[in-house]
Structure 1
Amino acid sequence: MTGPELSPELSIVIPCYNEEDNVRAICAAVTAEAERHAASHEIILIDNRSTDRTRVLIRELCASDRRIRAIFNTRNFGQMRSPTHGIYQASGAAVIGMCADFQDPPELIGPFMQRWREGAPVVLAQRRSEKTALPLALVRDGGYAFLHRFGDYPVLPDVTGFGLYDRMVVDSLARWNEPEPFFRGMLVESGYHIALIPFDRPQRAAGTSKNNLNALFDFALSGLAASGKRLLRLPVLMAVYAGLIALLLLFAAMAAVFLDGPVWALLGLALGGGMFAVILLILGLMGEQLRILTERSRGQPLVIEQERINFPDVARP
Structure 2
Amino acid sequence: MRNRAQGVPEISVVLACRNEEDNAVAIAAAVIEKLDPIVESFELIFIDNESQDGTVEIVKGMCARDPRIRLIVNTRNFGQMRSPTHGIYQAAGQAVISMCSDFQDTPDLLPEFVRRWRAGSDIVLGVRQSEKSGAILTFMRGLSYRLQKRFGDYAIIPNATGFGIYDRRVVEAIRALNEPEPFFRGLLVETGYAIETIPFKRPPRAGGKSNNNFFTLLDFALNGLAGSSKKLLRAPLYVAFLISLLTLTCLVGATVAAFTGHSWQLWLFAAMLEGQFGLLFLFLGLLGVQVALVSERTRNQPLVIERERVNFPDGA
Q: TM-score, with normalisation over the residues of structure 2?
A: 0.81
Q: Give the secondary-structure state (helix, strand or coil) at the position aligned to 1:55.
A: helix
User: Runs of 4 or more off by more than 6 Å in structure 1?
Assistant: 240-247
What is the identity, as a one-letter code, of the residue corresponding to 1:22? N
What is the identity, as a one-letter code, of the residue corresponding to 1:35? D
What is the identity, as a one-letter code, of the residue corresponding to 2:213? N
Kindly tell me: are residues 117 and 306 of structure 1, through their superposed partners in 2, closer, same or farther at Cα, counting changes over 3 Å? Answer: same
Shift of 1:28: 0.5
CA–CA separation in structure 1 for the residues paired with 2:311 and 2:80: 24
| Aligned 1:182-261 pairs, distance under 5 A | 182-238=183-239
Q: Summarize deviations over 1:293-314 as a string: whole Å, max 9, x none.
A: 5697373200011101000024
Is 1:122–1:164's contact at 8 Å kept on the other side of the alignment? Answer: yes
Further displaced range: 217-226 or 17-26: 217-226
1:154 is matched with: 155
Kindly tell me: are residues 8 and 103 of structure 1, through their superposed partners in 2, closer, same or farther at Cα, counting changes over 3 Å? Answer: same
1:99 and 2:107 matched:
no
Kindly tell me: are residues 309 and 156 of structure 1, through their superposed partners in 2, closer, same or farther at Cα, counting changes over 3 Å? Answer: same
CA–CA separation in structure 1 for the residues paired with 2:6 and 2:55: 25
2:119 is matched with: 118
1:21 is matched with: 22
Q: Summarize deviations over 1:73-131 as a string: whole Å, max 9, x none.
A: 11110000000000000001110000000000001000101110111000000111121
What is the identity, as a one-letter code, of the residue corresponding to 1:225? A
Q: Give the secondary-structure state (helix, strand or coil) at the position aligned to 2:120.
A: coil
| Aligned 1:133-172 pairs, distance under 5 A | 133-172=134-173
Is 1:6–1:312's contact at 8 Å kept on the other side of the alignment? Answer: no
| Aligned 1:290-301 pairs, distance under 5 A | 297=298, 299-301=300-302
Unmatched segments (≥5 aa) in structure 2: 250-280
1:69 is matched with: 70
CA–CA separation in structure 1 for the residues paired with 2:31 and 2:294: 37
1:176 is matched with: 177
Q: Summarize deviations over 1:14-38 as a string: whole Å, max 9, x none.
A: 0110001100100010111111221
The CA RMSD measured in Å over matched residues stands at 2.8
What is the identity, as a one-letter code, of the residue corresponding to 1:165? Y
% of aligned pairs identical?
54
What is the identity, as a one-letter code, of the residue corresponding to 1:210? N
| Aligned 1:4-43 pairs, distance under 5 A | 6-43=7-44
Shift of 1:157: 1.1
What is the identity, as a one-letter code, of the residue corresponding to 1:81? R
What is the identity, as a one-letter code, of the residue corresponding to 1:134? A
What is the identity, as a one-letter code, of the residue corresponding to 1:40? S
Q: Give the secondary-structure state (helix, strand or coil) at the position aligned to 1:18.
A: coil
Tell me which structure has the larger Cα radius of gyration: 2
Kindly tell me: are residues 63 and 236 of structure 1, through their superposed partners in 2, closer, same or farther at Cα, counting changes over 3 Å? Answer: same
1:89 and 2:86 matched:
no
Q: Give the secondary-structure state (helix, strand or coil) at the position aligned to 2:166.
A: strand
Kindly tell me: are residues 127 and 293 of structure 1, through their superposed partners in 2, closer, same or farther at Cα, counting changes over 3 Å? Answer: farther
1:79 and 2:80 matched:
yes
